[in-house]
Each structure stands twice: as C-alpha cells, then as structure tokens.
Amino acid sequence: MRSLISFRLRLAVLVTLAMAALPCFAGEVAVLRNGFSIRHERREVVGDLTRLYVSADGANFIDVPTADIEHYEDAPPELPSEASDSRLPASGAKRVSSPFQRNAPSAPSVNLDEVVSSASGRYRLDPDLVNSVIKAESGFNAHAVSPKGAQGLMQLMPRTASTLGVPNAFDPKANVEGGTKYLRELLERYNFDLVKALAAYNAGPQRVEQFNGVPPYYETRAYVARIVKDFNKKKAAQQNVAASSLAKSGAHKRTGAKASAAAGKTPSSTVLQSKVSPAQSSE
C-alpha cells in the first residue's frame, strides 16, 4: 500500500511538472511592470524568461524576464486597421510587429543620437540622462503607446505634448524635443533634485508635491531607480575610460621624460636644452 501511495505521489508530481512545462495557449495581454503591455497568442516559461508568441504560428516571439511581468489580461478584440512596425527586439527574437503599437502613425527616420544631442544641448542637460529616460520610457521604440495613452520615445501624454507644442508625439525629433524640455522644467521646479524630477515625470508633479517627494508607488520608485542606475552606469564607464586614458598618458609622459633625460647627457640635444632652460633659470 505504501509503495502504491508513493507511486501515485511521484506520478502527480510528474504530471504537474509536465503541465507547467507546456505552453499556455490564450489570446491575452501581458502587462509589464514598466506600464507597457504585450499582446500575444500563447506563452511558455523558458528558464527565467517567459516567451510570448505574438503570432499564431509561433514563428514570432519576444522573450521577457518573468519577473518583469506584473499580470495577464484577456486580450481585447484586435482592430482591423491596426498598423504594424517591423523591428528587431533587443531580446534577439525574430522580426515581429511591434507589440506596443496601437494605431501609431509612422515615425520619420532620424539619427537619434543627433536628435538627443541637439535637444540636450538646447536645454542644457546631459545627453546620457535623456537617453536613460528614453530607455526606461519606451525602450527606444518611437511607436510605443502605453496603456494610459503616453506616446513615443519619451512617452508624452497627449495633453502634455500639446502643452509642450508637440503636434505629433510619434515624430522622434519633436517627441525628444518636448520631453527634454519638460524634464528641464521639472528639474528647475525641484531645484535640480533629479530624483524628484524623474518621479514627477512618471507620476506627475501633483503626486510629488502631495507626498513631498517620490510617491509610494512601486512603479514610480522602480522607474526612478532604473534611470538613476542606468545613468550612473554610463558615468562610471566614462570615468573608467578617462582614468585608463590618463594612466596611459602618464606612463607615456614618464617614458618620454626618461628618454629625454638620457638624451640630455649628449651635447647635440639642443631641443631638450631649450625645454629645460626655464626650469634652470628659476632655480
């Protein structure tokens, strides 16, 4: 009897594991912690990732860290006029229609580095900061539309875009221009407290002032932390490169100084003598 119970328990465990490994078939929407949603036909867990199949035949998919998925919802009926955008996701998946897009008009092709550099210079902000905000807001997807209606690279709400003079939030140049201007205004409003400015960019100035700082919302706190971490990572990398370059330059100068000293022992080194003569005259 005991062996029979043991066999049944093992069988139950195996069946449970097999069912967990099977892909889940459903027309649904995965709502991410960053506010985006991804419509998909089915999903399956692959290690620490959840693979979201965005086409019925399973040919196109996006891998998303399972921890980044907040919950799932039933997918609403798909609009027949929904536009598509072919791009290669950062996950390395095959080209798929953008899962964030909801009837977004086509965005003109631009050099984003130039756009960010121009807007950052105009509003006296670090381009790395603007890029970190864009990364957190849209993942550099000019067609991105959040469930709340924020649009484009820097996720401008229609009302905010209108106030900033942005006629088309899906135009990368206009969007970055407006978003950078808005970020500068928030920094000035909070005496260049970056954390408060970022919190206001995400949750709105009213919430920051209501709570006298970062609102106690998981999404907002994670958003601020993500941008600050990404920005600091860029600055640290730049400092490391600068330090390495300085060290190499110093080593090169020391090597050159030794070689010069050796050459100075010979009377033919007129250039060396002219270089050291000011030091000699000051002694």
What are the residue numbers of the active site? 137
Helices (H), the chain: 2-21, 112-122, 127-138, 158-163, 172-189, 194-203, 205-210, 218-263, 270-282
Of the candidates 103, 128, 104, the one whose C-alpha atom is nearest the C-alpha of residue 116 is 128
Closest CA to 193 of 206, 204, 177, 208: 208
What lies within 8 Å, CB to CB, of 115 at 6+ separation is 172, 173, 176, 177
Determine the Cα–Cα distance for residues 170 and 91; give it in Å rounded to an integer.
23
Residues whose CB is less than 8 angstroms from the CB of residue 112 and which lie 6 or more positions away in sequence, other chains included: 140, 153, 172, 176
Q: Which of 53, 57, 55 is nearest to 43 (CA)?
A: 53
Which one-letter amino acid corresponds to residue 69? Answer: I
- What lies within 8 Å, CB to CB, of 32 at 6+ separation is 38, 64, 68, 69, 70
DSSP string, 105-117: PPPPP--HHHHHH
Residues linked to residue 52 through DSSP beta bridges, in sequence order: 43, 62
